Chain A
């Protein structure tokens, strides 16, 4: 089956100084949860914005393929994009506290999304909003619709954002660190909610996170990003059982596993910081932090396959 979202060699640079995304390729199948994982500043959010066509004007985007459903996202005008955004292609953001407009009620903001994309009356749109609020586990949706964002807690607002994204029954939902700003118990609830919604609605989910715990729990497929590149991409089980890129292995060593990590032993860490990559950079971006680095790592790195559907960007052979 063809994936609903397909990107090949997607690049984003800001001015002449920073290459934020450097030729990434990824595909998200219908009904699949694809996790994009990596540390801060590795280009995860820029990738999401590039797909949505929401990059700042100083950014330059290029791609061999950037396709969503039947739309060639590279060729679409701003007007055509705004027709797709919020309809078949929806996105939720990291900061639920500031993602709702303080000047309008929840109901009016939610109804507006549906009115923009479908010919419906305000009353019908509000009914749909109430139905979705109930679906995402908000009690007394009728009352919430009449409230303003400042009257809601962070967890509630993120639920509102999710139900707002679902107003037009999207086929792909891009969630950019949807739980990072929430406290741990609420995080778990929101993740469970996303999971059940995805299963019920057959939604494709591109989930951006830096939390491998979330990946293990949610993802069908994982792409690990480092310094603007996807360094390893694999089905979730394969990635956790046979990580092939030294960076992925380093990341996995940083997670405490009950039973196997001793209390008095320090957790693993990856020394150094993500380098700033200027356009024209050649070789492995991880080589300065890698234990296995050899002089050859400064040359173009081949993409190797560890197993069917599991590839990584490194000179080393698979573990």
Chain B
């Protein structure tokens, strides 16, 4: 049962990833092409829908399915690159603190504590408002903010691994500290970090949607799912599907990532016991 759920999560991510990669090939229309004669066409299955626009069109007559597919690119890019940035920062700090202990660890712990005292959304909003919004700015901002869970997890796991016999054996064989951290410790703490990565990826995608909804994330006319919801909110009473479609897409993707993360955590735990 658990395997089924994990695989289900994995499938969702795979489908969204494929959609993101092959968006230009799969999308029926240009996601940026406006056609004011074709505004607010409902999805195909509703009254007044047309087979030319399976998910309908938005208030500027752009094909909603195409925007959704291109929006997957934004979400996946945000998720992946944010996790790479924050993972690099967090794991570096965590392994250093966990391996060296003492002063170094005090500094790392202080940085983690500071980071935890920062209100995420507010700082992200301020930074994006000051620097100006672009995909890169959003990725870097989120990456610089979301590293603390990586740091906490890699720090504690490094502390456990540090005292194992094979670390002493590696030192006795002449391994340098850098070598021990990168080659002896890191491969043995990877599995909990993968779980953290999935959680952070989901969080980053949701935060980007929130920022875009507030108008400070990815700039229009890029088709971010959060931005689609923001642009659709004025029409939601008469055409609820304009926010429901990107909303469901967001929900399903984040659900998939979390299911995969939970499944991985359980199976890695089982493997360890």
Interface residues of chain A, those whose CB is within 8 Å of chain B, are 52, 54, 57, 78-79, 82-87, 90-91, 93, 95, 98-104, 113, 116-117, 161, 164-165
Q: Are A100 and B174 in contact (CB under 8 A)?
A: no
Q: Are A100 and B171 in contact (CB under 8 A)?
A: no
For B101, what are the chain A residues with a Cβ–Cβ distance below 8 Å? 57
For B174, what are the chain A residues with a Cβ–Cβ distance below 8 Å? 82-87, 113, 116-117
Chain B residues touching A, majority SS: helix
For A95, what are the chain B residues with a Cβ–Cβ distance below 8 Å? 165
For A57, what are the chain B residues with a Cβ–Cβ distance below 8 Å? 101-102
Task: Please indicate which of the listed interface residues B102, B165, B169, B179 has the most CB atoms of chain A within 10 Å of its own CB.
Answer: B169
Min Cβ gap A53→B in Å is 9
For B179, what are the chain A residues with a Cβ–Cβ distance below 8 Å? 116
Q: Are A90 and B166 in contact (CB under 8 A)?
A: no
Q: Are A82 and B168 in contact (CB under 8 A)?
A: no
Q: How large is the interface on B (under 10, 10 to 19, 20 to 34, 35 or more residues)?
A: 10 to 19
Additional 18 contacts, C-beta under 8 A, given A84-B174, A85-B174, A91-B172: A57-B101, A57-B102, A83-B174, A86-B172, A86-B173, A91-B169, A95-B165, A99-B165, A99-B166, A99-B168, A101-B184, A101-B188, A102-B166, A104-B187, A113-B173, A116-B175, A161-B169, A164-B173
Q: Which residue on chain A has the smallest CB distance to residue B179?
A: A116
For A54, what are the chain B residues with a Cβ–Cβ distance below 8 Å? 168, 171-172
Min Cβ gap B163→A in Å is 9
B37 CB-CB contact with A under 8 Å: no
Q: Mark B157-172, 1 if CB is under 8 A from A, else 0.
A: 0000000111011111
Q: Which residue on chain A has the smallest CB distance to residue B177?
A: A78
For B165, what are the chain A residues with a Cβ–Cβ distance below 8 Å? 93, 95, 98-99
**Cα-based distance from A254 to B164 in the complex (angstroms):** 33
**Cα-based distance from A29 to B179 in the complex (angstroms):** 33
B176 CB-CB contact with A under 8 Å: yes
**Cα-based distance from A220 to B80 in the complex (angstroms):** 62
Q: Which residue on chain A has the smallest CB distance to residue B184?
A: A101
